[in-house]
Amino acid sequence: MKKKGKKQKQKVSTKLNLAQIVGIIFAALFLFLLPGQSYYQTLILNYYPPKIRSSRFDDFTPSPYPVKFTNAVPPIITASAAAVIDLDSGVPLYQKSTTLRLKPASITKLMTALVALDYYQPDDIITVSKLVTISGDSKMGLKLGDQLSVRSLLYGLLLPSGNDAAYVIADNIPGGYEQFITSMNKRAEKLHMYHTHFSNPTGRDEDDHYSTVYDLIILTRAALQNQQVAEVVKTNWTTVLDVFGTKSFPLKNVNELLTTYTGIYGVKTGYTELAGQCLVATAKRGNRKILTVVLNSKDRFRESTELLNFGFDNFRLKEQTELR
């Protein structure tokens, strides 16, 4: 009798356990199927239309893109490195060894001018208290004791490519010459001229003074964006005076293309024994602007002329919508 009673209790217990399990399952399903009431469930179920804000680029119109429309080949040139660039879009039309490190010669003075204007205002007056003279240097014609505005010194720096003007500008900033060279290299780094190093403000040949066509394109574009520098480099000739108006400095630009190529408006020549003939030049024809660079050329003006003509004569601008 005891065994039978025990078995009946086990059956009842088993039934109760099954009933409890089934009840728990139904309760869980019931709760699971109920509409969500938590914050996150409500957030997911509710729809909110997206908030749209107009972009500052909504009215952006990309620059026209230069497209070659002839089968003409680039001119044969002696320059060790060169480039033709559509100035507005930055698109290269011709490239030769653009990352080759070479001597930039007096094209360096574009950086000298930019750094000078970081420290000085154009009307600031500088007194020539020290002169650095090296045989064979191009000169503005400064003498000890001369007093000139920075603007006048920039004309002397960039037209006749006066090394005397470069040294006077560099020597007179706070921190002096060494600080000026440091600032030149910092500005180069800021412009992402990663294959350039300056060791002087003139472009004189030194082992650690070098650049590339690619970097000089960057430098030239930065110089042309500076209103003061852009005004100076397009000037063929001028006469500047000292602050007293008693001494004059007649200055002639050594960039021959200013008088031989229609539409030219700058930029800078360079020459040393190691650098060879160098030139960055810009010209405008219609709605097009082209920049050329030649380094270590045997005939910089002829080759720059041929490269400018190649860019103008064989490429035309197309709107970006026409290229799709």
Residue positions annotated with a catalytic role: 106, 109, 161
Which helix (H) or strand (E) element contains residue 284?
strand 276-285
The reply to whether 268 sits in an annotated binding site is: yes
Contact 70, 311 (CB under 8 A): no
Burial class (CB in 10 A: 0-12, 13-18, 19+), 264: buried
CA 145, 150, 152, 158 dihedral sign is: positive
Give the type of residue at 200. N
Give the C-alpha separation, 38 to 129, whole Å: 81
Task: Verify cis geometry, omega within 30 degrees of 0, for the bond prior to 267.
Answer: yes
DSSP state of 239: E
* Biggest CA pair distance of the chain: 140
Contact 215, 209 (CB under 8 A): no
- Binding-site residues for substrate, in ranges, read 268
Binding residues: 268
